[in-house]
Chains A and B, each alone.
Chain A
Amino acid sequence: GENVEQHPSTLSVQEGDSAVIKCTYSDSASNYFPWYKQELGKGPQLIIDIRSNVGEKKDQRIAVTLNKTAKHFSLHITETQPEDSAVYFCAADLDSSASKIIFGSGTRLSIRP
């Protein structure tokens, strides 16, 4: 079955610097890759997603890249701010027949002032 690995598990960056979180997936049939941000005491919030027909997508300070050949996708956050501190989950759809997604293990991002 689909397996999604996420690294690193914790990440601490200086405010204003960039943060990169990487994920790999195992099922070559996966076509949809969302990223979620979860703040303490809240539910996961969809922040950006990418589909297999696109290599890169950007939304203000957040970008996601996808390498289907290598089965890698990454989240890039530039000019980090204190409010970016949270747990980030990558995910991939299990197969192309339904909307079931499998989550990575999560990355706890801390922004140092």
Chain B
Amino acid sequence: DTEVTQTPKHLVMGMTNKKSLKCEQHMGHRAMYWYKQKAKKPPELMFVYSYEKLSINESVPSRFSPECPNSSLLNLHLHALQPEDSALYLCASSQKWSSGGYEQYFGPGTRLTVT
């Protein structure tokens, strides 16, 4: 089973709202990722968690706050977003975060619209 699940599928939020995106995998993977994808563009890495610790923050604005409560779950907390933050937010996981190039498996994404 190479499934990564994400909820919600769609989210519309105002600029003053607080919301959270959720991601879950049960493959025993120890690395989890958040990507942002704008229309007609490739995914852009935002955050990497390795063994539940934040390993990479790609200079993401603080209005995006990641959290990894355990090895299977990854959250992205959203607060005071801007309309330009509207995008598809993808979660991915891989066996490890280390040399060797481990396969990353993506979830279906959350389509976020900020009004």
Q: A-side interface residues toward B, CB under 8 Å?
A: 31-32, 34, 36, 41-46, 49, 51, 89, 93, 96-101, 103-106
Q: Provide the residues of chain A in CB contact with B31, threshold 8 Å.
A: 99
Contact assessment for B42 and A104 in the assembled complex, using a CB-CB cutoff below 8 Å: yes
Interface of B is mostly: loop
Contact assessment for A44 and B94 in the assembled complex, using a CB-CB cutoff below 8 Å: no
Q: Provide the residues of chain B in CB contact with A93, threshold 8 Å.
A: 101
Given A43-B90, A46-B103, verify A103-B56 contact (CB < 8 Å): no
CB closest chain-B residue, reference A106: B42
Other contacts beyond A31-B101, A99-B97: 15, CB < 8 A: A42-B109, A43-B92, A43-B106, A44-B90, A46-B104, A49-B101, A93-B101, A98-B97, A99-B96, A99-B99, A99-B102, A100-B56, A104-B42, A105-B41, A106-B42
Interface of A is mostly: loop
Contact of A100 among B4, B45, B96, B108 (CB under 8 A): B45
- Number of B residues near A (Cβ < 8 Å) is 28
Given A89-B42, A104-B42, A105-B42, verify A99-B104 contact (CB < 8 Å): yes
